[in-house]
Amino acid sequence: MALVLVLIFSYLIGISKGQLRVGFYAETCPEAESVVSAVVRDALQSNPNTAAVLLRLHFHDCFVQGCDGSILIEDGPGAERHAFGHQGVGGFEVIERAKEQLETVCRGVVSCSDIVALAAREAVALASGPFYQVPTGRRDGRVSNISQAGDMPDVSDSIQQLKAKFLNKGLSEKDLVVLSAAHTIGTTACFFMTQRLYKFPPGGGSDPTINLEFLPELKAKCPQNGDVNVRLPIDRGSERIFDNQILRNIRDGFAVLQSDARLYEDQATKNVIDSYFGFLSPIFGPFFETDFVESIVRMGHIGVKTGSRGEIRRVCNAFN
Ligand code: HEM
Ligand SMILES: *[C@@H]1O[C@H](CO)[C@@H](O)[C@H](O)[C@H]1NC(C)=O
């Protein structure tokens, strides 16, 4: 009896808080999730790196103004998506294609921000990562402002800054590690490597935490004064497969991104990384995939607009 009351009560709280829920479109647009899946699968066939691009898009959407599709708006040079912190973000055309198809099957029902979250889920699964349930019901924001992307973490942030930026969004040190491990797929432009390889503070030169076997390899790919648009895998040796190799690489000095390397210098975040490689971890856990699902679902709740807030856009790159 007590349990039933607790369940009813938490359900009511859920409604009053306008929370997201799994299967939000089950009645209003049963095709919602399968349409997004199909569009993402199709996009991946022509470009396998689309999985990484879509996963990153979800992160960048959530960290500015909440997961509300604000990054999708294209209304001139003052649009949020042009912020420095969003450098290299893409996947917009995939989201737009899914939206177009959804508008033909259930007009005005599925939000662009939910499409972004669902596309990220599909991307992870197609990269051989875990498949998980995505709570939906986000509504799209009405603000897109280039000067409001200051919350984005930067590759050159200190570990304290990274932790603070995550904490600010309700995400823990563990979330920081587990979500950074999204770098298990995808690539970076040499643009983001310059400081780490040639101008590492305080004295210049390269980041001393880079494994000495790896340093010449990185420098060869991103030579000083070379083309900053050249791209290299972030997870050395495993860029297409979603797995915990990235954490192993970080531990062993094979991190590519400066921010990833910082995760092994702080006691709390180092402990999280090491927890996945304990002697008995393969049997008793913790399991990276399980923890990632928990963290990305949490990230997907940042600043969401539900109920009567926001809107359901007709196209994803413009307000109604
Ligand atoms: C902790 C702070 C983070 C920093 C400083 C950071 C920084 C970066 C940078 C500089 C790149 C390369 C971008 C490019 O050259 O196009 C990148 C790529 C990527 N990031 Fe992060 N990131 C962070 C966290 C995250 C999180 C939380 C996720 C997702 C959950 C994520 C997902 C990705 C993915 C999948 C790519 C590869 C994109 C591609 O291949 O085009 N990152 N990140
Ligand atoms: C964008 O944000 C800045 C800083 O918060 C603010 O001063 C400015 O008025 C905003 N611009 C628009 C168009 O809302």
Asked whether residue 39 is domain-assigned, the answer is yes
Asked whether residue 204 falls in the same domain as residue 112, the answer is no
Q: Is residue 311 pLDDT above 60, yes or no?
A: yes
Asked whether residue 173 falls in the same domain as residue 288, the answer is yes
Asked whether residue 136 falls in the same domain as residue 194, the answer is no
Long-range pairs, 277-282, Cβ under 8 A, ≥24: 277/247, 277/248, 277/251
**Is residue 224 in contact with ligand 2, taking CB distance under 6 Å?**
no
Asked whether residue 84 is domain-assigned, the answer is yes
Amino acid at 94: V
pLDDT score of 104: 98
Q: How confident is the model at residue 12 (pLDDT cuts 50, 70, 90)?
A: very low
Asked whether residue 192 falls in the same domain as residue 148, the answer is no
**Is residue 59 in contact with ligand 1, taking CB distance under 6 Å?**
yes
Number of the ligand closest to the Cα of 182: 1
CA 222/CA 13 separation, integer angstroms: 52
Number of the ligand closest to the Cα of 70: 2
Distance (angstroms) between ligand 1 centre and the Cα of 288 equals 18
**Is residue 256 in contact with ligand 1, taking CB distance under 6 Å?**
no
Asked whether residue 213 is domain-assigned, the answer is yes
51: Cα separation from own chain's centroid: 11
pLDDT tens digits for 31-52?
A: 999 999 999 999 999 999 999 9
Residue 74 is part of a domain; what is its CATH number? 1.10.520.10
Asked whether residue 127 falls in the same domain as residue 183, the answer is no
Asked whether residue 228 falls in the same domain as residue 112, the answer is no
Asked whether residue 172 falls in the same domain as residue 258, the answer is yes
Q: Is residue 168 pLDDT above 80, yes or no?
A: yes
**Which of 119, 152, 185 is at the close of a domain?**
152
CB 224 within 8 A of CB 270: no
**Which of 136, 152, 168 is at the close of a domain?**
152
Asked whether residue 115 falls in the same domain as residue 136, the answer is yes
Amino acid at 280: L
Asked whether residue 252 falls in the same domain as residue 283, the answer is yes
What is the pTM (predicted TM-score) of this model? 0.95
Counting from 1 in the atom list of ligand 2, the atom nearest the Cα of 145 is 1
pLDDT score of 58: 98
| Residue with CA closest to ligand 2 atom 7 | 147
Q: How confident is the model at residue 8 (pLDDT cuts 50, 70, 90)?
A: low
Q: Indicate the number of domains in the chain.
A: 2
Distances (CA, A) of 168 to 34, 113, 164: 34, 21, 6
pLDDT score of 248: 98
Asked whether residue 142 falls in the same domain as residue 235, the answer is no
**Is residue 246 in contact with ligand 1, taking CB distance under 6 Å?**
no
315: Cα separation from own chain's centroid: 22
pLDDT score of 103: 98
Residue ranges for the known binding site are 61, 64, 66, 68, 70, 80, 153, 183-184, 235, 243
Residue 273 is part of a domain; what is its CATH number? 1.10.420.10
Asked whether residue 105 is domain-assigned, the answer is yes
Asked whether residue 119 falls in the same domain as residue 171, the answer is no
Averaged pLDDT, 182-203: 97
- 173-180 and 159-167 helices cross at what angle (nearest 10)? 110
Token pair for residue 224? Answer: 């000083």
Residue 97, number of CB atoms within 10 A of its CB: 18
Tell me which residue range forms the domain holding 135. 19-152
Asked whether residue 181 falls in the same domain as residue 233, the answer is yes
Amino acid at 303: G
CB 103 within 8 A of CB 32: no
